[in-house]
Amino acid sequence: MYTKEASHMKSLFDKIIDAHLISQTEDEICIKVHQTLTQDTTGTMAYLQLEAMQIEKVATELSVAYIDHNTLQTVTENADDHEYIKSCADRFGIILSKAGGGICHQVHLERFAKPTKVLLGSDSHTPTAGGIGMLAIGAGGLDVATAMATGKYFIRNPKKMKIQLDGIPSPGVTAKDIILVILQKLTVKGGVGYIIEYGGEGIRSLDVPDRAVLTNMGAELGATTSIFPSDSITHAFLKRQNRESDFTPLYAEPDAVYDDTLIVNLSEIIPMVAKPHAPDNVTSVSEIEGLKVNQVAIGSCTNASFSDLMQVAALLKGKQIASHVSLSITPGSSNVYTMLAENGALSDMIKAGARILEPSCGPCIGMGQSPISEGVSLRTFNRNFKGRCGTPSAGVYLVSPLTAALSAITGQVTAPKTAQQIKLPKKFTTNDSFLVQPTCKGEIVRGPNIKPLPDSFDVREIKNVKVGLITEDNITTDDIVPSTSSLLPFRSNIPYLSEYCFKNIDPEFPERCKSMDHVLIIGGKNYGQGSSREHAALVPLYLKVRIVLAKSFARIHRSNLINAGIAPIVFNNPDDYDLITPEMTFEVQGLESAISEGTNVFLTNDKCKIAAHFTGSERERQILLNRGYLNYIKIGGLS
């Protein structure tokens, strides 16, 4: 938790908050936001919300709109949405990164991220920039739109966890193996409510792209964000990127206070793998060595840096991938792509039989490269949720680039035992031709796929609710609104997406909601983990979901529910979950006072009486009592 500690006891988080604190209550902190980023699957909603705020220009030092998800533009909806984002960026003073420029997190790390500054992004993997010493937080689109409009972000007072890295990694062990070990120890719920800070002598063996792998997959731990110090390694990275002037040192004090500490000995780590279908289903590569592989995909915002792909190229040089394996490689940015082309590494990859994809999210979000039915796909990505790859029956295994490349050659899961030393150039390519500077004069272009936001409602009007769905633990945002190549073009069309809400769990859910007045969803632990996509709140809002009652919530999704005006309440007794049956109707008693005063809310019928509560800041209470965040802002809630 952030407090005004003595100057000799401050963590990295404390120091950044000290420098950029606007206000603080007992429950939350308001901080200055210097930079924002959006991407095209979340950006359209964010810019619709920004339009509704009727601003002239963004209030941040820098905001960037990335086109990196739906880059194939296979249907007009994609191209039209991109044109809308482009016109909003031009109008409101936002830099546009065009399709082909690269994955938002890789490009931002290379070109824009600054140590000690604050970044808010409408993508759950925004903490990637923590690898450079930036306080980088993923949030829903409305929170990002508000940050663009006001330069402010409200964060619930987090706990602090130090992960101390000792020792030096053995040959063949990479940053991906390190974060998989941490996931094995902490699980996908282990970071919920925490800021994770990395320290220890072991961080000296990790370059900025390596550190970014760990901060990127802090999202899989459920952490608010993860951050490394800004040190000589950070300085060297920025110097290579021709951004030496952006360097600012940042160190935690030796006696900084943390709520929890995890010590990881890097010298004890061996190559690791996350088996289907969760990032924390981790074991050693040697445990599954010999498993036949059908597909290998290298890239994503986790492992598509120049150093990662140079290691891959060194392994592939002079080799051939197995005849039954499909290998795709995705550079993280146009600059990485260019450098691989210039130094001949791209040729080594192609000669080995690799397919080179344009710099984009691509297969990571199911946009192409779906594996065969019942197939085994090794991927260097950050998520392996069931069906996310586009093939529900396939098994996706998360591995390091070294394990992936070696396994592509052998045709079966193979653990690396060594790695070649890669000599980094003194200067990296910094061609910014995919970046478009705004004029702040253009007109907004809105295609037919851009639909209005769902109507809000007053929680005080809820007297009765009916159970529309009962879900299990660790429900993801992909479960709520599937992220598939066929649905991604409709991210701006909530009515269309509503027909697919919870499709893979209960295909009848959308139709059932149509016959209900007020819908209640029952959730287990960590409800809403995964992406920052606020569609997972806006689509249920459209389907008349008024309350989600769960054992616990993932941070970003909980905020998105509140912003949408849906009440996220928590069981007083988690065992009451077992008393609820499908389509059960409840009378709602005391919801308004539960929100405004922190008392209990009761859901009652002739079979049971369920006690629950809402925990939140005064601002969050007012958002819920004023029909969601947009309406709260319109009535002067941030003034």
Q: Look at residues 583, 618, 568, 626 and name the one whose alpha carbon lies nearest to residue 597.
A: 618
Is domain 272-410 classified as CATH 3.30.499.10?
yes
CATH superfamily of 7-268: Aconitase, domain 3 (3.30.499.10)
Q: Is there a common fold for 7-268 and 272-410?
A: yes
Are 242 and 112 in contact by the 8 Å Cβ rule? The answer is: no
Model pLDDT, residue 634: 84
397 pLDDT above the threshold of 90 = yes
Of 4-18, 251-265, 610-624, where does mean pLDDT reach its minimum? 4-18
The rounded percent of the chain whose pLDDT value lies above 90 is 84
Instruction: Give residue 364's pLDDT.
Output: 87
pLDDT of residue 408: 98
Q: What is the residue extent of each domain of the chain?
A: 7-268, 272-410, 459-634
DSSP 192: B
> Which residue, among 4, 27, 8, has the nearest Cα to 17 in the 3D structure?
4
Average pLDDT of span 306-327: 97
Could you write out the DSSP letters of every residue in 11-32?
-HHHHHHHHHEEEE-SSEEEEE
What mean pLDDT comes out for the span 27-33? Answer: 94
Q: Give the closest residue to 586 by CA, choosing from 572, 601, 597.
A: 601
What is the DSSP track for 431-459? Answer: --TTEE---S-PPP---TT--PPPPP--G
Cα separation, 607 vs 53, whole angstroms: 46
Comparing 386 with 284, which gets the higher pLDDT? 284
**Predicted local confidence at residue 130, as pLDDT:** 98
Q: How far apart are CA 585 and CA 610, in angstroms?
A: 12
Phi, psi at residue 264, to the nearest 5°?
Answer: -125, 125
If you average pLDDT over residues 371-375, what whole number do you get? 95
Region 543-547: what's the mean pLDDT? 97
Lowest-confidence range among 29-33, 256-260, 359-363, 572-576? 359-363
- In the prediction, which pLDDT does 2 show? 67
Burial class (CB in 10 A: 0-12, 13-18, 19+), 203: buried
Q: Within the chain, what is the greatest distance between any pair of CA atoms?
A: 73
Q: How confident is the model at residue 452 (pLDDT cuts 50, 70, 90)?
A: confident
Average pLDDT over the chain reads: 94
What confidence tier does 74 reach under pLDDT thresholds 50, 70, 90?
A: confident
pLDDT band at 126 (very low <50, low <70, confident <90, very high): very high
The CATH number of domain 459-634 is 3.20.19.10: yes
> At how many degrees (to 10) do helices 306-316 and 208-216 cross?
100
DSSP 549: E
User: Could you give the angle at which helices 306-316 and 334-343 cross, rounded to 10 degrees?
Assistant: 40
435-436, strands of its sheet edge to edge? 135-138, 118-121, 35-39, 62-66, 95-97, 435-436
pLDDT at 1: 63
pLDDT at 442: 87
Q: Cβ neighbours of residue 597 under 8 Å, at least 6 residues apart?
A: none
- Whether 481 contacts 471, CB under 8 Å: no
Q: Summarize the chain as % helix, strand, coil (round to 5).
A: 35, 20, 45
Q: For the stretch 412-446, what's the b/e string if a residue is b when 16 or more beta carbons lie within 10 angstroms of its beta carbon?
A: bbbbbeebeeeeeeeebbeeeebbbebeeeeeeeb
Give the chain's radius of gyration (CA, Å).
23
Q: What is the pLDDT of residue 219?
A: 95
